[in-house]
Structure 1
Amino acid sequence: MEAMDCRPEPETEKSPGFDFDPQASRKWMRDAWMPFAVVVVLLYLLLVIWSRGLAKGGRKVEVLVPLVAWNGGLAIFSAVGAWKVFPWFYFVLFSRGFYCSVCSNSYMTESRETGYWIFLFVLSKIPELGDTVFLLLKRQPLTFLHCYHHATVILFTAHIYVDFAATGIWFCALNYVVHALMYSYYTVRTMGFRVPRWIAKVITCLQILQMVLGTAATAGAFYYKIRRFPCQMNGVNIVVSLALYLSYWVLFSIFFRNSYVKTISKCTTQ
């Protein structure tokens, strides 16, 4: 079985008029962003530990207007990111095939606009810690899933970007889409509109599906690696991706069970 050809077609080799240097951004991410991200994560974990008893005491802070703006801004950013990144993901997956989508980092070397929005995606993971700040201001408890996901995804996305790991296009495109829907839902809820409960269930299901597909993409890259196909994924990329995506899969599934399945069971037995 021979390796498939993932070389670009002539019309897809570059994005005319879009000035973005992926190699320079990669070097900056490795030399500046990664050390900064490590410090931010450590400070974030210290904040989480310090605030463990905060939700039980003190007054809630009125954050309605800034929270609407926050969720709305992230919804718009994620929607634009999905619009910029998902078409390239779709093109590679359905025009070049699954192998090229998990073993070729064409998303950084061919489409510079796509690469730019993936760069922004990595940067956005630190500002997203604002989710935790708003929960603390509202005196709501922080769950393990919330803190673990926010802390690990900062380092994970930077790690994938620094290596230009091929499956990064899967992780980014799917996350942009799910976050566009999730933050739109939060925005509408925060504005006081009643939203059917099934929409929250669907969003959680999409989050779980995202983890399933991320795991499948990484497993696919692993398969091609052991078959000695050319694959722009190293062993560390694969191990870290599998470990995190499987853990996210389990934790989001537990969250779904506790939030919806157990609730339904209680209602039917009363």
Structure 2
Amino acid sequence: SPNLGEMDLFSRMQRLEFKGSELVEILTEQEFDFKRSSKWMGDHTLFTIQVVFLYIVSIHIIKDFMRERVPFKLTLPIQIWNLVVAVMSGVGAAAMTPEYLSTWYYRGYDATVCSSRQEFFSGTGGVAVFVLTLARLPEFIDTYFIVLRKRPLLFIHWYHHAFTLFISWYGYSNLLPCSRHAIYVNALIHTVMYSYYFLCSLKITLPSLVARLITIAQIIQFCFIFYAVGHTTVIHYIMGVPCEIHDESIVLTWIMDLSYLYLFIDFYMNKYNGKTKRDEIRAFKTE
């Protein structure tokens, strides 16, 4: 028979718990408390699992529902959405830049992945990190736009959205300094990519090379993360250097990055070797 722990987990899985009032307090405090925000993220690990499940089920239900129906255009909502994400990502990247560059320049690469938790997660840059991590949830909107417009729904698209939400929130709760490279570079790429999508939504024609370069930038991003996690793994687990680290988060990051690298390289090879239909050739939106 199931023990009390299993019954309690089953009971919790049946209800969504989101601490909205505490989130507002965290975001409006005079001085940002990254330890409180990380605890808030940790308290929502189960929530992310539930939301990911609902996300995957709902997009496939909507896809089936739309099969015999006229696709929505959603031109204005998409324009607004792309502009909002581009601006938010750009502002976030700008806020993180001073600390990101100064820590690397003055303290070295080892410090960026191993001993700079306080620097990265606090202050104005820390607020940007928290907000961009929260934004992984509304980024599911991308997928709903796809299914409501009856565009091709690729596995790589919904897989990376689902995995990224979970690992971003879970990883933030453990405050890994090495995550700085993924968060910062991704903010830069999102700024460019969603600006590109915004211009496309305005019917502005851009050279096809732009889409190719964005996809290449995404692959380089995952190589960058690969190096950061690999470097952290070597200096901590092999060389024995003390690090601000969390074992489960490192393992999940390896799984995430290797799977993304494989999927994005495969996507690129198919896309630019002519295996993908011409009307499907667009820069792919990353996590």
Question: TM-score, with normalisation over the residues of structure 1?
Answer: 0.86
Counterpart check, 1:233 vs 2:242: no
CA offset digits 1:88-144 (Å, max 9, x no partner): 222222221111111123355674211111111110000000001111111112100
CA contact (8 A) 2:89 2:190 kept: yes
Aligned to 2:38: 26
Distance 1:65 1:147, change over 3 A: same
Q: Distance in 2 between matches of 1:180 and 1:74?
A: 7
Shift of 1:55: 5.6
Q: How does 1:34-53 map to 2 (within 5 A)?
A: 34-53=45-64
Aligned to 2:264: 252
Q: Distance in 1 between matches of 2:223 and 2:244?
A: 21
Q: Distance in 2 between matches of 1:213 and 1:258?
A: 23
Q: Distance in 2 between matches of 1:234 and 1:25?
A: 17
Aligned to 2:254: 242
The equivalent position to 2:189 in structure 1, one of 178, 182, 196, is 178
Give the letter aligned to residue 262 of structure 1: G
CA offset digits 1:34-60 (Å, max 9, x no partner): 232222111001113324435643101
Q: Distance in 2 between matches of 1:239 and 1:69?
A: 37
Q: Distance in 2 between matches of 1:35 and 1:110?
A: 23
Q: Distance in 2 between matches of 1:47 and 1:165?
A: 32
Structure 1, unpaired ranges of 5+:
1-16
Structure 2, unpaired ranges of 5+:
1-28, 279-287
Aligned to 2:143: 132
Q: Distance in 1 between matches of 2:33 and 2:94?
A: 21
CA contact (8 A) 2:120 2:177 kept: no
Give the letter aligned to residue 147 of structure 1: W
The equivalent position to 1:190 in structure 2, one of 193, 201, 210, is 201
Moved more, 108-117 or 36-45: 108-117
Shift of 1:68: 0.3
Aligned to 1:165: 176
Moved more, 233-242 or 222-231: 233-242
Percent identity at matched positions?
29
Q: Distance in 2 between matches of 1:261 and 1:90?
A: 37
Q: Distance in 2 between matches of 1:234 and 1:195?
A: 43
The equivalent position to 1:145 in structure 2, one of 137, 142, 156, is 156
Aligned to 2:111: 100
Aligned to 2:88: 77
